């Protein structure tokens, strides 16, 4: 589970809006603007993924891991990050978040997240994570994709 990916689980908080291709009941009332922006684009959301806010605090790390499929891309829309210190490594390539910009990567590649050590004032990184269909998938392949656990 995701809780086992973090060196300090209480330093990584997630708030799911969509899981397995469906809105999580009651959550859009807490983030109505985000849901209004996403609603016209649900056809590109991967049923094998999520839409969630992710808050990651300084002094922690998300261990190397890989997503279960290359049929989706993971989009990180940075809502807040300090100028330096938070780094994601995907397939051996380092990147950092810039507020207002998106990082897009294939999360079937091994990736991990580092944050700066806690020194003085704690900091955090806040991103909106959106899993979308991989653009190389044909429409018939997209239609065959099922949420995890569906039969």
At 19-51, the pLDDT tens digits run 887 889 999 999 999 999 998 988 888 888 899
Stretch 118-132: mean pLDDT, rounded? 81
Q: How far is CA 119 from the centre of its chain?
A: 26
Give the Cα separation of 118 and 14 in Å (integer): 20
- Dist CA 137 CA 89 (whole Å): 25
Mean pLDDT of the chain, nearest integer = 84
Q: Tokens for 90?
A: 């995907």
Query: Is the model's pLDDT at 84 over the cut of 90?
Result: no
Q: How many of the other CB atoms lie within 10 Å of CB of 122?
A: 12
Give residue 118's pLDDT band: very low, low, confident or very high (50, 70, 90). low
């Amino acid at each position: 589970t995701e809780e086992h990916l973090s060196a300090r689980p209480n330093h990584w908080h997630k708030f799911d809006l969509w899981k397995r291709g469906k809105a999580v009941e009651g959550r859009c009332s807490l983030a109505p603007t985000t849901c209004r922006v996403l609603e016209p684009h649900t056809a590109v959301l991967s049923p094998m993924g999520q839409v969630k806010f992710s808050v990651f605090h300084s002094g922690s790390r998300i261990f190397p891991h890989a997503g279960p499929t290359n049929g989706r891309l993971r989009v990180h829309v940075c809502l807040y990050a300090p100028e330096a210190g938070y780094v994601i490594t995907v397939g051996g390539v380092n990147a950092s978040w810039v507020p207002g910009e998106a990082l897009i990567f294939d999360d079937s590649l091994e990736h991990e997240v580092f944050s700066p050590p806690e020194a003085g004032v704690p900091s955090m990184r806040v991103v909106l994570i959106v899993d979308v269909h991989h653009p190389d998938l044909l429409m018939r392949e997209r239609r065959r994709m099922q949420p995890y656990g569906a039969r």
